[in-house]
């Protein structure tokens, strides 16, 4: 039988044995580095321009200058994408200055004669000049030249690119036209095929698509020249490839202004398409590209869309113009023989939203010169319970905003269809 003294002795020993690993764990925890806090959201704004920005588009130019700080604001012009960087940079700076800015050209471009772009990208004085600006403007051209000039070979940011990010983080504006818009998302088109070729052949990392600069974040894909060139159709394969749920495509001479709270406002000549793949599915057993239950919306000038809450607010011109299905008077079939044609997708959506029919069909082919048989694609647009349209109050120049139209795409063997019908 153990005495109380022996029992106490064993108890103290057990406690000491338990204390050793606890002290060791505490010591180990003390040596681990503290977790880094998540980076703060940028305080600045983005002006994402779909290409072809005209000199007389005051709405867009003035917005850039205002977001950079107003009259006299310093704006760094980066013509890195341009084929003729010096000429392009001077022209953009002159245009910004005409609208009240104090713009200057950053001589950083792959195609700038007599310049070592990698050395320039690390120049401390140039980086400081960019960092001291209220805004940055990326020109159009070839977006691959932008990333080549500003991103180091190991994938990290050069000194000048880090300075651009500082402008954005600290409340300045980052604007980009065409190629300058493509780099706004974390994935961009790099060396793409035609729109139809992208539907036929898909996209591959390092060839059709590559990393962008990611100013808008990792969750939204951006494309440009959208309506004029029918590029909405090439966005979908790229988004599916990289797992994007939402995509924004902006048309020419038009801008998406994205503020620090991720509210999007459409400014300029035309509008933008919003593509939602959050409930979309594909059939891997199908021989060609396909998607079901995608959702497509058209945001017109003056409209607003909250990327965080997905709430749409129509422009003042359309505030009281919500369309009622029961008021639709048209009933003819809605069809487009070339859905990839200039503005064809928006024109078809507008015809559908004011029609009693609930479905519209668009066809995409490689073009009238191709030989049959060929593979085409059928685009089916369907109104659902969530579909909504808004019309402007002015009947002289009526415009529409269209939300939540279902889109299904399937391959279509046109040659076989014609042969079957002939027989």
322: DSSP letter: B
- Residue 186: band (very low, low, confident or very high) from pLDDT cuts 50, 70, 90: very high
- Residue 357: predicted pLDDT: 94
Same domain, 187 and 49: yes
Same domain, 59 and 183: yes
- Residue 206: band (very low, low, confident or very high) from pLDDT cuts 50, 70, 90: very high
Same domain, 158 and 225: yes
Q: What are phi and psi of 116, to 5 degrees?
A: -95, 100
Same domain, 190 and 270: yes
Same domain, 292 and 340: no
Same domain, 310 and 360: no
Same domain, 337 and 312: no
Whether residue 367 has pLDDT greater than 80: no
Q: Which of 254, 289, 316 is the last residue of a domain?
A: 316
- Residue 330: band (very low, low, confident or very high) from pLDDT cuts 50, 70, 90: confident
- Residue 40: band (very low, low, confident or very high) from pLDDT cuts 50, 70, 90: confident
Inter-residue contact 219 to 235 (CB < 8 Å): no
- Residue 329: predicted pLDDT: 76
Same domain, 305 and 334: no
In a domain, 233, yes or no: yes
In a domain, 172, yes or no: yes
Whether residue 421 has pLDDT greater than 70: no
Q: Total domain count for the chain? A: 2
CATH of the domain at 297: 3.40.50.880
Q: Which of 316, 350, 368 is the last residue of a domain?
A: 316
Whether residue 374 has pLDDT greater than 50: yes
Same domain, 237 and 123: yes
- Residue 47: predicted pLDDT: 98
* Rounded Cα–Cα distance for residues 313 and 353 (Å): 18
**Residue position matching structure tokens 């790229």:** 238
Same domain, 223 and 112: yes
In a domain, 366, yes or no: yes
Residue range 234-242: mean pLDDT, rounded: 97
- Residue 34: predicted pLDDT: 54
In a domain, 401, yes or no: no
Residue range 134-158: mean pLDDT, rounded: 98
In a domain, 16, yes or no: no
The candidate with the shortest Cα–Cα distance to 139, out of 196, 87, 63, 70, is 87
Residues in the chain: 423
Whether residue 423 has pLDDT greater than 70: no
Q: Which of 284, 316, 348 is the last residue of a domain?
A: 316
Whether residue 324 has pLDDT greater than 80: yes
In a domain, 136, yes or no: yes
* Rounded Cα–Cα distance for residues 305 and 176 (Å): 20
Same domain, 366 and 342: yes
Whether residue 30 has pLDDT greater than 60: no
* Rounded Cα–Cα distance for residues 6 and 291 (Å): 77
Residue range 318-328: mean pLDDT, rounded: 84
Residue 417 neighbours by CB under 8 Å, 6+ apart: none
Residue range 244-249: mean pLDDT, rounded: 98
Same domain, 108 and 221: yes
Q: What is the pLDDT of residues 275-313, one digit of tens each?
A: 999 999 999 888 889 999 999 999 999 999 999 999 999
In a domain, 34, yes or no: no
In a domain, 27, yes or no: no
- Residue 328: predicted pLDDT: 78
Provide the residue range defining the domain that includes 153.
Answer: 45-316
Inter-residue contact 65 to 126 (CB < 8 Å): no
Neighbouring CB atoms inside 10 A of 50's CB total 31
Is the C-alpha dihedral spanning 208, 211, 216, 220 positive or negative? positive
Residue range 60-81: mean pLDDT, rounded: 98
- Residue 217: band (very low, low, confident or very high) from pLDDT cuts 50, 70, 90: very high
């Amino acid at each position: 039988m153990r005495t109380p003294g022996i029992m106490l002795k064993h108890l103290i020993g057990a406690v000491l044995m338990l204390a050793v690993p606890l002290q060791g764990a505490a010591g180990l925890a003390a040596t681990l580095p503290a977790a880094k806090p998540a980076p703060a959201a940028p305080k600045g704004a983005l002006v994402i321009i779909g290409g072809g920005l005209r000199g007389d588009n005051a709405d867009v130019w003035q917005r850039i200058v205002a977001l950079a700080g107003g009259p006299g604001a310093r704006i760094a012009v980066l013509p890195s994408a341009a084929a003729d960087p010096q000429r392009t940079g001077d022209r953009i700076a002159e245009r910004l200055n005409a609208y009240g800015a104090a713009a200057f050209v950053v001589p950083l471009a792959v195609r700038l004669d007599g310049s070592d772009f990698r050395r320039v990208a690390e120049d401390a004085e140039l980086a400081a000049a960019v960092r001291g600006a209220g805004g940055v403007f990326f020109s159009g051209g070839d977006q691959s030249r932008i990333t080549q000039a500003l991103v180091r070979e190991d994938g990290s940011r050069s000194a000048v690119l880090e300075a651009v990010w500082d402008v954005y983080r600290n409340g300045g504006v980052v604007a980009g036209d065409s190629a300058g818009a493509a780099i706004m998302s974390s994935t961009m088109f790099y060396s793409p095929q035609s729109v139809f070729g992208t539907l036929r052949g898909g996209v591959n990392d390092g060839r059709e698509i590559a990393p962008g600069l990611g100013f808008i974040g990792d969750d939204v894909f951006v494309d440009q020249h959208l309506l004029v060139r029918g590029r909405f159709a090439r966005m979908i394969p790229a988004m599916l490839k990289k797992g994007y749920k939402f995509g924004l495509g902006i048309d020419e001479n038009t801008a998406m202004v994205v503020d620090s709270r991720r509210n999007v406002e459409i400014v300029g000549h035309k509008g933008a398409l919003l593509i939602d793949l959050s409930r979309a599915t594909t059939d891997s057993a199908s021989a060609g590209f396909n998607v079901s239950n995608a959702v497509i919306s058209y945001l017109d000038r003056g409209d607003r869309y909250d990327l965080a809450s997905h709430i749409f607010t129509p422009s003042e011109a359309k505030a009281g113009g919500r369309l009622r299905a029961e008021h639709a008077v048209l009933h003819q079939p809605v069809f487009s023989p070339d859905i990839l044609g200039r503005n064809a997708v928006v024109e078809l959506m507008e015809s559908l939203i004011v029609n009693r029919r609930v479905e519209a069909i668009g066809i995409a082919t490689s073009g009238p010169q191709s030989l049959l048989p060929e593979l085409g694609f059928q685009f089916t647009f369907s109104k659902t319970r969530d579909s909504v349209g808004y019309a402007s109050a002015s009947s002289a120049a009526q415009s529409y905003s269209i939300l939540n139209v279902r889109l299904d795409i399937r391959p279509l063997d046109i040659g076989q269809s014609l042969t079957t019908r002939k027989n």
